[in-house]
Amino acid sequence: LSRFSSNDLLFYLAVILAAAPVWWFKFFGSLDGPAHLHNANLLQLVVTGTNPVIDTFYKVNPVPVPNWLSHIILSLLCFIFPGFLAEKMLLLLYVIGLPVIFRKLLIRFSPENHLFSYLIIPFTYTFMFYLGLYNFCLSLILFFAAIFYWFTMVDNINTKNIFLMLLFVTF
């Protein structure tokens, strides 16, 4: 706890308060959220092979196509949690992850301007978020993480760092 300043604690408290609407109700209303859960459940059934009827109609596409990140995360979370909680975990990953990685990036470039990191918090609940475009929302986290990682490792470019950077921009 001594590593954190009072400003850091205040920022994380603001992020937790901003995440409260996700936990407030049992279901979070978004346009495509139920479709993401349905696809995640289908993916889970296809991968586990527990439903022969589903197996006759669906196969996992071996070609890496876009917009799989939220489905993969939701499928993994559905192994542990019921669907509505799995979706909440995914939404919390975004609502907490975006301000945190943005703050890290901002402090990396301009530590004296750390108060500007609070400005990202209202932008987490965007129109795209309510439309249920979870892959787009998660891509914002990966975008800021890729920029942060690039400037962290630019002086030490090696095969491992290039591979990790490739993972950031691929997903």
Q: Tell me the per-residue pLDDT of 73-128, one tens digit each, with 9 for 90 and over.
A: 999 999 999 999 999 999 999 999 999 999 999 999 998 988 999 999 999 999 99
Q: Quick one: tokens of 100?
A: 């945190």
Task: Please report which residue ranges of the chain form alpha helices under DSSP H.
Answer: 6-24, 33-48, 52-57, 69-78, 83-109, 127-131, 134-153, 159-170
* pLDDT, tens only, 19-29: 999 989 888 88
Question: Is the predicted pLDDT of residue 16 greater than 90, yes or no?
Answer: yes
Predicted confidence band of residue 168 (pLDDT cuts 50, 70, 90): confident
Give the list of residues 6+ apart from residue 95 with CB closer than 8 angstroms, or none: 15, 18, 19, 22, 124, 125
The band of 149, judged by pLDDT with boundaries at 50, 70 and 90, is confident
Both tokens of 148, joined, read: 């942060």
pTM to 2 decimal places: 0.87
